[in-house]
Amino acid sequence: MTNAESRTVLRILDANANRAGEGLRTLEESARFILNDLSLTERLKTHRHDLAVAMRRWNRFQLIGSRDTPGDVGTGVRTASEQSRADLSSVIAAATTRTQQALRCLEEYGKTADSEFAACIESIRYQCYATFRELELKMAGLNARSRKLVEARLYALIACEPNADCLKARIAELVDAGVDVIQLRDSSVDDRTLFEQAKLGAAIAAEREVLWIINDRADIAVASGADGVHVGQEEVPVDAVREVVGPEHLIGLSTHSIEQVRLATRTTANYIGCGPTFPGKTKSFDRFPGCEFLAQVSDAERSGELTLPAFAIGGIGLGNIEQVAQSGIGRVAVTGALAPHDGLHQTAMGMREILEQVPLRITPDSSDVCPLPND
């Protein structure tokens, strides 16, 4: 190559090394702060380190000396899609594409002067393909679940059924009645029974496109393929649960005061249950925060202090759901009101009709879909 050609190759290598490194750093931050995934974070950091090591085969001062940003005609080229990102997933998609393209450029132009360098870059590129695939799939799974969650209005809690056919029928009647989320909660059965019903329920819920949550048991939630787990204030802390279920599963947390709501926003919880609102038949409580608490939660949503979907819970039925709606909460979780009975469909539809009069402040359009703890 002529000196001019060599200088051009150096410019291309310098530009694409910067582009690849920036892309890998963007993806590393996504794995670290969005997915809270240690394994992916470490792998992306390793790719970035390997790239830096490979670039040491070139004289850094020659690379920098070849750089001519003011004279680069490409710096002024812009497309509309470059100037905005619809959501966090689009940030990741752009970064993976940019990084892969930059690595390919490094490999191809590197072949003109250093075949060993090109081979190193090729190896990094193939490793990145596998890592990027896992990153994007995890993000897609989290987004799909989170999107369903923030659009949900009606959440039903059910117990295990005597057999598979009964469970199928129970889920079907709830979904047909307009339920968006179903939680399996039953402390009276053995682990094997709970697991088998959780696994069957997860498959049915996925087919019917509703969310399937397991109460308390993070291990069974993961093993059964459920969408998430719900825990209370006295159970394992949310961040410890996150270590078990990983970044792609949803975690719900019960709250009984506005202070607990504020603390929930500092965890990796995806949603909160707020109550108990009224006395119910399934659990006994010493006190009921009631609609006053719900109004505080609504105010926190309005101010932006709360960015997690909040479901009112506790003794809620068709006879008192209007009070919940008047407090500003448009999502509820219920047990007794949706127990099997002849009027279940009418009850559920009546509750939805009232809830849908309350605008949802936390929606797919108003959030990043993937909630992050507030520092």
- pLDDT, greater one: 143 or 210: 210
Closest CA to 49 of 101, 124, 129: 124
What pLDDT is stored for residue 375 in this prediction? 43
pLDDT of residue 138: 81
For 224-249, what is the mean pLDDT?
Answer: 94
pLDDT of residue 78: 63
Are residues 188 and 129 both part of a single domain?
Answer: no
Question: Which positions make up the binding site for Mg(2+)?
Answer: 216, 235
One domain for residues 219 and 349: yes
Mean per-residue pLDDT, 33-55: 92
The whole-number pLDDT of residue 200 equals 98
Q: Does 324 lie in the same domain as 187?
A: yes
Q: Same domain for 88 and 224? A: no
Residue 361 lies in a domain: no
Residues 127 and 157 in one domain: no
Note whether residue 374 is domain-resident: no
Q: What percent of the chain has pLDDT over 70?
A: 91
- pLDDT average, residue stretch 10-36: 93
pLDDT digits (tens, 9 = 90+) for 190-203: 999 999 999 999 99
196 and 316 belong to one structural domain = yes
The mean pLDDT of the chain is 91
Q: Is residue 288 part of a domain?
A: yes
CATH number for position 215: 3.20.20.70
Among 144, 163, 185, residue at a domain's last position: 144
CA dist list (Å): 100 to 84, 136, 181, 198, 231: 20, 14, 38, 40, 40
Mark whether 266 and 168 lie in a shared domain. Answer: yes
pLDDT tens readout for residues 288-322: 899 999 999 999 999 989 989 999 999 999 999 99
pLDDT of 38:
83
What pLDDT score was predicted for residue 282? Answer: 62
Q: What is the structure's pLDDT at 1?
A: 81
> Residue 16 is part of a domain; what is its CATH number?
1.20.1260
290 inside domain: yes
Rounded Cα distance, 150 and 359, in Å: 12
In a domain, 375, yes or no: no
Question: Is the confidence at residue 154, as pLDDT, over 60?
Answer: yes
Domains held by the chain: number: 2
Q: Pick the residue with more confidence: 81 or 265?
A: 265
For 82, residues 6+ apart whose C-beta sits below 8 A from its C-beta are none
pLDDT band at 163 (very low <50, low <70, confident <90, very high): very high
Query: What pLDDT does residue 63 have?
Result: 93
In a domain, 366, yes or no: no
- pLDDT tens-digit map of 91-107: 999 999 999 999 999 99
Tell me, yes or no, whether 371 lies in a domain: no
Q: Is 281 buried (19+), middle (13-18) or exposed (0-12) by CB count in 10 A?
A: exposed
pLDDT(69) > 80: no
Pairing of strands 271-274, 250-255: parallel
Question: Does the predicted model carry a pTM greater than 0.75?
Answer: no
What band does 240 get if pLDDT is binned at 50, 70 and 90?
very high
**Are the C-beta atoms of residues 120 and 229 closer than 8 Å to each other?**
no
Tell me the β-bridge partners of 183. 157, 213
| CA–CA distance, 135 with 132 (Å, rounded to integer) | 5
**138 shares its domain with 161:** no
Quickly state the pLDDT bin for 372 (edges 50, 70, 90): very low
Is 232 found in the same domain as 93? no
195 and 245 fall within a common domain = yes
| Domain presence at residue 372 | no
Does 367 score more than 60 pLDDT?
no
27 vs 33: CA distance, rounded Å:
10
Least confident residue range of 6-20, 45-59, 77-91, 309-323: 77-91
Q: Are residues 163 and 284 in the same domain?
A: yes
Mean pLDDT of 250-268: 95
Q: Mean pLDDT over residues 216-238, rounded?
A: 97
Domain match, 92 and 169 both:
no
Query: Which residues line the annotated binding site?
Result: 215-216, 235, 254, 283, 315
Domain encompassing residue 66: 3-71+82-144
